[in-house]
Amino acid sequence: MGQIGWCPYAYPIASNPASAWTSAVTVATGVVVTIPMHVTGQMMLRSVTIRELSTTLARSWSWALYVQDLNNGNSGENSLRRVATSNAADTWTATVASTRTSAAASAPVYLSPGIYWLAIRSDQGTQNISVGTVAANTIAQDMAQTKSTTLSDPLDFVAATWTKTTAGSWGARLNGDVFGQTAAF
């Protein structure tokens, strides 16, 4: 472990934490959305937080974090390695839009600096989740992708049926420990 400092939190690439996440991407039951997260320094991952916009009925979600180890043109690089996962599904009955936090299994989990892919899965059975976003980015470029799948290890990020989305800034955050604490900053 180098001496380059410790990250208290990390957001998706091109995200603005001050954004009003009033738009949403609906993640249907059994569907996974993957979002690239930028970890700028070493991190001790404690939990993941999302902005969830549902206002009624039972909801449930889980997550996993993946990393692409290589990028040298080999077809095997389409399957990313899982480095962390939620301790259990976060389940609640929505009454208002809310900020939801789900603990990491075996927390804290060490992350080195780099780009990780946060995979969020809707687990309720009949009710979708609505992950908060800013409206589509102005140059309409891909920002995330969705697919009906599980949070397997590894997870193929290229196989058929992934659908790209141009939703802008995502309401998601990786929460880390700093200052020798044993709780997320």
Which of these, 172, 58, 55, lies nearest to 119 by C-alpha position?
172
- Each residue's pLDDT tens digit, 20-79: 777 888 898 999 999 999 999 999 999 999 999 999 999 999 999 999 988 888 877 899
Mean pLDDT value across residues 124-138: 83
- Each residue's pLDDT tens digit, 63-107: 999 999 888 888 778 999 999 999 999 999 999 999 999 999 999
Domain of 123, CATH number, reads: 2.60.120
- Sign of torsion over alpha carbons 134, 136, 140, 144: positive
Q: Looking at the domain assignment, is residue 153 inside a domain? A: yes
pTM of the model: 0.93
Q: Looking at the domain assignment, is residue 141 inside a domain? A: yes
How long, in residues, is the chain? 185
157: left (phi over 0), alpha (psi -120 to 50) or beta: alpha
Q: Looking at the domain assignment, is residue 119 inside a domain? A: yes
Q: Looking at the domain assignment, is residue 183 inside a domain? A: no
Is the pLDDT score of 163 beyond 60?
Answer: yes
Is the N-terminal amide bond of 113 cis, ω within 30° of 0? no
DSSP annotation of 134:
P
Mean pLDDT value across residues 107-113: 96
Is the pLDDT score of 116 beyond 70?
Answer: yes
Q: Looking at the domain assignment, is residue 59 inside a domain? A: yes
Structure tokens at 75: 């077809």
| Residues in a beta bridge with 110 | 44
Domain that holds residue 91: 9-177
For the chain, what is the domain count? 1
